[in-house]
Structure 1
C-alpha cells in the first residue's frame, strides 16, 4: 500500500468522524429571542453543533448585528467541512488582519492538512499569525517530508507531550515511519512516553505501527504483570514491550518492577536496560522514594522524556545530592536547562560546590524576573524582594484611544455576554500591536470595566514599565481585612491565593465545580459552614463575595493549623486536599527548605500553584508593609511530622 494511499485513507477516516456530530435540535430556530445578543448565542450554539440550517436562519436574522465578522464566521463554521476553499478564502480576505480571520485560517489549515492539500497549506501556513496549534506544526512537518526534506529531529521536538497528541501528529508519526524517517526504535520511544503518561488511546494507535495486538496494549495498561510471567521472549518487540511494562508495574510497585528487571536483565541490551531503569526511576520519583536515586544512576544513557529529565533533577534535590543535581541539569536539553527553575538550582548546586562567583552570575541572570525563582535568585545574591519604582500613572489622553479601540470594544462586548473565549481572542490580538505604555493603558481600561483578570494578565506582560497596582489588585479590601484580622491570618497570603485561584473573577467557576473568588468546592463550603455554625447556609451563598471570603479564609486557616503553620504545605492542601501534602511531608527523611519541598511536589498543577501563591503573597506583603520581604522566610522549613526543625537538625545548605 502506497504512503499516499495510506494518507488519503487516514484523511477520509478523520473527515468522516468530524462530520458525524449530531445536528442541534431544530427547535432552536423556533424559540423566541429577547434581543440580537440572544440570537447570536443561538447562532454560536448551532455552529458548534454543525447545524448549518439553523445557523443560516440565525445569521440571516442578524444582518445588522454589531459584530458582523463573527456572524459570518459562525455561519461558515456550521458547514466548515463542506465549505469551499473559495468561500473560506473570501471570508479571510474580507476580514483580513482581524483575530477572527486568523481563527478561520487556523480552521482552514487544519482541514488542508487532513486533506493533504500541501500546496495550499504551504501558502497559508506562513500567514497564520497566532501559530499556537501543535497539530498544524505536525502537518507542516509532513508537508516538508512529502517534498523529500529530512525532518525527523524537528518531528521529535514536537512529540514530547503525549496526552496532547492529535490526528495531525499521529499522521506525522505514521508518515515518517512509512517513509523511513522514523525507525522502530523511535516508535518504541513514543510508546514508552505514551505508557509513562497513561495515554492508552495513543498507545493503541502506536501499537498498530508496531504490529502489536490491541489486546496486548490493553493488558499492558491494565494488568502489565500478566505479560511477562516468564520474562521477555527472545525478540525485539517482546523486549521493548517488557521495558514499557516495567513503567506500568512501577506505577503501583517500583520494588517489584526493579526485581523483575534485575531477574531478566541478561535478556536485554544495554539501551533497553537503561530505559527500563528510567521507567522505574520516574515512577519511584513520583512517589518521592529514596530508592529513585539509585534507579536514576542505573538509568544512565536512557532516552528520557521531558518529565524524566526534570524528575531526575528533582530526585537529586529531594535527597540532597547536589552533585547528581548538577549532572542532571547539565544533561537536560537546552530549552529545559535555560528555564529559570533549573538556572536557579544549578546556581545552588554550584554554590554547594563552593563556586560562589559562578553561582552569583547565574542568579543575576534571572534576579530581575518577577516570579518565584527570580525572587529566590535575588535573595541568593543578598537582596530582599520589594516593589519596583512606580511607573507614571496612565493619563486620560493615554486611556482615550483604548476606549475607542474597536478590537478592545469588541472584546468588552463579548465579556459582557460572558463569552470569555471570544473576548480573550480579541483582547490578546490587539495587545500584539501595543508598546508597554499601551499595555498599561489597556490594563487600566480593563480595571475601569471591572475585568480584573484582564488587567492583571495585560499588565503582567510589561518588562520595563511595571505597575504593581494593576498586577496585584486588592478588591474587597475592607471585607478581607476584617476577616483575616479576626482569624489572625496573613492577608497578603490570602490575596496571593485569590490572584492564583480566580484572578479576581467574581463569578469564576472551575471545571470541577469550585466557585467564586476563592474557588471553594461545594462539599468544602458545606463542611466549613457547619464547622463555623452557619446553620442557615445554602449552596448558592458561596457566590456571595463576603460569604466566599469568610468560607475560603476559614478553610485556609484550618489547613494552616493542621499543617503546622507552613504556608507552603497549606497552599498545597488548598489546591490538592490536605491528605496529599501530609503524605508528601511523610516522605521526607530530614527537614528541607520550603523551596525544595515545593519543587518536588509530584503534581504539576499543585507545584506551579504553590510557587505562584507564595510568590504573589511576597509581593503583596511588600505592598502592604512598604518594606522588602523574604520569600525564603515565607517558604520556611518543611519538616517530617514529629521531627524538630532546630538548627541541629538542619543540613548545611539550610543554615546558610
Structure 2
C-alpha cells in the first residue's frame, strides 16, 4: 500500500471520528429547529407515556431550558421506572427519584412521582422505604398502591383481611401486581383460605382479565389447578365443563365456575344449559354464584330468563357489577321485594351509594314502610344530582337552586396569582388536558367554599369554562349555580334552540355533559366539538339539512357544531316520540341500540327505571347527568325546574 493511500485512509478515519458526528449533530440541531419547543415537549410526553427512556432523554436534551423544568425532569425519569409493558422495574434508579422529590416537594408532579416510586418499592417489596414514603402520598388514589400498603401490615401479623376484601371489590383490571401480591401474601400468612381467593379469580375471569386471574391462582396452594385446566377454562370453557367432575375435588368445582363465567360472556343461554347439568353436584354457595354470574350476563343482554337465574343467586358472593344488575333486573320486572332484598344483600360500600339509597327508599315505599322510606330519601335529597332530585320529588318537594353566593374582587385577586393555575393554563394551551387538570385540581386542595367560588369565577373570566364548572361543583355549603351551570355562547345557542324547537335547558344540559364547553374537545373515539359529534354523524346531518359535504375542518367550529348537534338531537327527539331521555340516550349510543333496549322491555316502565337499566354504563351515566343538568338549567333560565319524573316519563316496549 502506498504512503499516499495510507494518508487518505487516515484522514477518512479522522473524519469518521470528528467530522461526521459534528455534521450529524448539526443536522440534528437543524431538524430540531423545524419543531418548536412545545412540539418537542409534547413528543417527550408521548415517549414517557410509552416508557421509552432513550427517546425521552434524546428529546429532553433538545429543550434544556424549557419553562416547565419539573415536567421535563419527570418525563425523563419516569420511563426509567417502568418497562414497555408498564411493569415496575426492580432495578429502577433511586437517586434521581429522591432528588426529584426533594427538589419539587409539595407540587402535583412530585406527588405523581411518589405514586410511581411507591409502585417500584412495592414490586421490590422494599417495605421500610415504602412505608416511609406512603404517608407523603397526598392523593392516595392508586388501588395498586393501596394494596401494597396492606402487605407489610399483614406481614407484621396485623389482621387486615376485611380491609383487603373491601379493597379487592374494585374492578379486577385495576388490580395490577399490587393487588395480586396482596392476595398471595394473605394466603401465605393464613388470612386468606382458598375459598377467599377463588371468588377474585372468578371475578377476573368474568371481566376478561385472564392473566390477572392466573397470577392469583398461585395463592390457592394445594387447590391450585393444573395450568392446562385454567387454559381450557379461559379459551374452551364448554370443553372443560365436559371433562371435569365438580363433585370430586374443590378445585374442580371452582374451575366449573370459571368455565361457566367465561361461557356466559358469549352465550348466557348456553352457559345456563351447561351449568344446569353440573349445578346439582355443587355446594349451595357455589351453585348460587354460578347462577348469579350467568344472570348478570343475561341481564346485560336483556334476556327474560335473567330474573329467574338471579333468584337462584341468594347468598352468593358476586362481583359488585353483578350485584348492581340484580337490582336493575328486579326493577325492570317491578319486583320490589326483590329490589329490597338485593340492596340489603350488598356490601356497605355499595349500599350507601346514592342510586341504591334511592331505590331502597322506593322499595320501602312500595312495602308501605313510609317512615323508613322517608328517612332513605332524606339521606340524599340534598345531593345535587339525578338521585338527589328524584329523592326530593319523592318527598313531595320541588327541585330548587340554593341561594347564590357571590365573591368579591378582593377574593379573586390572590387566586389569580397562584402559580398552579398559570401552569395549568400553559398545559391547556397545548391541549394537554390531563396535566392541566392535575395542576388545577392540586391547587384547589384545602380551599374553602369562598376560595373555590373565587377560583371558579377566575376560570370563567379566562374562558376555562370546564374548570369553572368543576371548581364550583366542589363547594359544600356555599354555592353559585350560575358557575356550576355556565351558559356561554348564549346568542348562538338560543338561535339554534329556536330553529329546532328544542329546550334551551336541554341543549345546555347536553353540552355540559359532552364537552364541558371545551371548544376543541376531541374524544378517544373521534367525536369533536362542543356537542361531540362523530365525523360520519356530522356529515350525515349536514346532507340531511341541505349543506352537502362539509370540510372536516369546519365541523368542530362552534357555530357549525351547535347547528349540526341541535339538528341531530331534534332528529332523535322526533324518532323517540318527543322523549328527552330516550333522545339523549340515542344521541350518545345511537338510535338502533335504544330501539333494541326498548324492544326488550316486557312491560312499560318508569323512565327512571329504564335509565337505570341501560346496558351501557357510559350511556346510563350520560343520560342521568344530562337530565339532572336540564333541571338546573331550567331553574336558572325559567325560574323553575319542573319535575324530573315527568321529564323522564314512561317508556313502553318498542313494537316496531
1:633 counterpart = 2:610: no
**Structure 2 match to 1:69:** 70
**Structure 2 match to 1:150:** 159
Q: Does the 8 A contact of 2:144 with 2:174 survive in 1?
A: no
SS of residue in 1 equivalent to 2:402: coil
**Structure 2 match to 1:181:** 191
1:200 counterpart = 2:210: yes
In the alignment, which of 558, 561, 581 is matched to residue 571 of structure 2?
558
SS of residue in 1 equivalent to 2:420: helix
Q: Deviation of residue 35 (structure 1)? A: 5.0
**Structure 2 match to 1:18:** none
Q: In terms of mean alpha carbon deviation, does 76-85 or 354-363 score higher?
A: 76-85
**Structure 2 match to 1:4:** none
Q: 1:208 to 1:78 in 2, by over 3 A?
A: closer
Structure 2: distance between partners of 1:232 and 1:518: 55
In the alignment, which of 348, 355, 366 is matched to residue 369 of structure 2?
355
Correspondence list, 1:44-443, <5 A = 44-50=45-51, 52=53, 55=56, 59=60, 64-80=65-81, 84-160=93-169, 161-207=171-217, 211-229=224-242, 232-233=245-246, 234-392=248-406, 394-443=407-456
Q: Deviation of residue 369 (structure 1)? A: 1.0
Deviations for 1:494-517, whole angstroms, at most 9, x for unmatched residues?
211111111111111111111111
SS of residue in 2 equivalent to 1:564: coil
Deviations for 1:282-304, whole angstroms, at most 9, x for unmatched residues?
12222233322222222112112
Q: 1:163 to 1:53 in 2, by over 3 A?
A: closer
Q: Deviation of residue 187 (structure 1)? A: 2.5
In the alignment, which of 463, 470, 478 is matched to residue 491 of structure 2?
478
Correspondence list, 1:21-40, <5 A = 30-32=31-33, 36-40=37-41
Q: Does the 8 A contact of 2:542 with 2:548 survive in 1?
A: yes
Q: Deviation of residue 319 (structure 1)? A: 0.5
In the alignment, which of 480, 483, 488 is matched to residue 501 of structure 2?
488
Structure 2: distance between partners of 1:544 and 1:60: 37
Q: Does the 8 A contact of 2:453 with 2:472 survive in 1?
A: yes
Q: 1:162 to 1:27 in 2, by over 3 A?
A: farther
Count of equivalent residues: 617
Q: 1:247 to 1:59 in 2, by over 3 A?
A: closer
Deviations for 1:557-607, whole angstroms, at most 9, x for unmatched residues?
222211222222111111111122212111222211100111111221111
Structure 1: distance between partners of 2:37 and 2:301: 55
1:582 counterpart = 2:599: no
TM-score computed with the length of structure 2 as normaliser = 0.89
SS of residue in 1 equivalent to 2:421: helix
**Structure 2 match to 1:650:** none
**Structure 2 match to 1:448:** 461
Structure 2: distance between partners of 1:254 and 1:47: 42
Q: 1:400 to 1:528 in 2, by over 3 A?
A: same
SS of residue in 2 equivalent to 1:525: helix
Structure 2: distance between partners of 1:569 and 1:319: 20
SS of residue in 2 equivalent to 1:31: helix
Structure 2: distance between partners of 1:153 and 1:27: 58
Considering only aligned residues, what root-mean-square deviation do their CA atoms show, in Å?
Answer: 2.4
Q: Deviation of residue 29 (structure 1)? A: 9.2
Deviations for 1:613-655, whole angstroms, at most 9, x for unmatched residues?
1110111111111124111111011111249xxxxxxxxxxxx
**Structure 1 match to 2:15:** none
Q: In terms of mean alpha carbon deviation, does 95-104 or 26-35 score higher?
A: 26-35
Structure 1: distance between partners of 2:357 and 2:538: 40
Deviations for 1:116-174, whole angstroms, at most 9, x for unmatched residues?
11111111101110101111111112222233333322222222211222122222223
Query: Unpaired segments of 5 or more residues in structure 2?
Result: 1-26, 82-88
Q: Does the 8 A contact of 2:404 with 2:479 survive in 1?
A: yes
TM-score computed with the length of structure 1 as normaliser = 0.89
Q: 1:630 to 1:188 in 2, by over 3 A?
A: same
Structure 2: distance between partners of 1:52 and 1:273: 50
Query: Unpaired segments of 5 or more residues in structure 1?
Result: 1-25, 644-656
In the alignment, which of 522, 533, 554 is matched to residue 541 of structure 1?
554
Structure 2: distance between partners of 1:623 and 1:299: 46
Q: 1:243 to 1:44 in 2, by over 3 A?
A: closer
Structure 2: distance between partners of 1:56 and 1:254: 51
| Structure of greater Rg | 2
Q: In terms of mean alpha carbon deviation, does 253-262 or 423-432 score higher?
A: 253-262
Q: 1:277 to 1:640 in 2, by over 3 A?
A: same
Q: 1:49 to 1:256 in 2, by over 3 A?
A: closer
Q: Does the 8 A contact of 1:92 with 1:104 survive in 2?
A: yes
Q: Deviation of residue 399 (structure 1)? A: 1.2
Structure 2: distance between partners of 1:42 and 1:230: 53
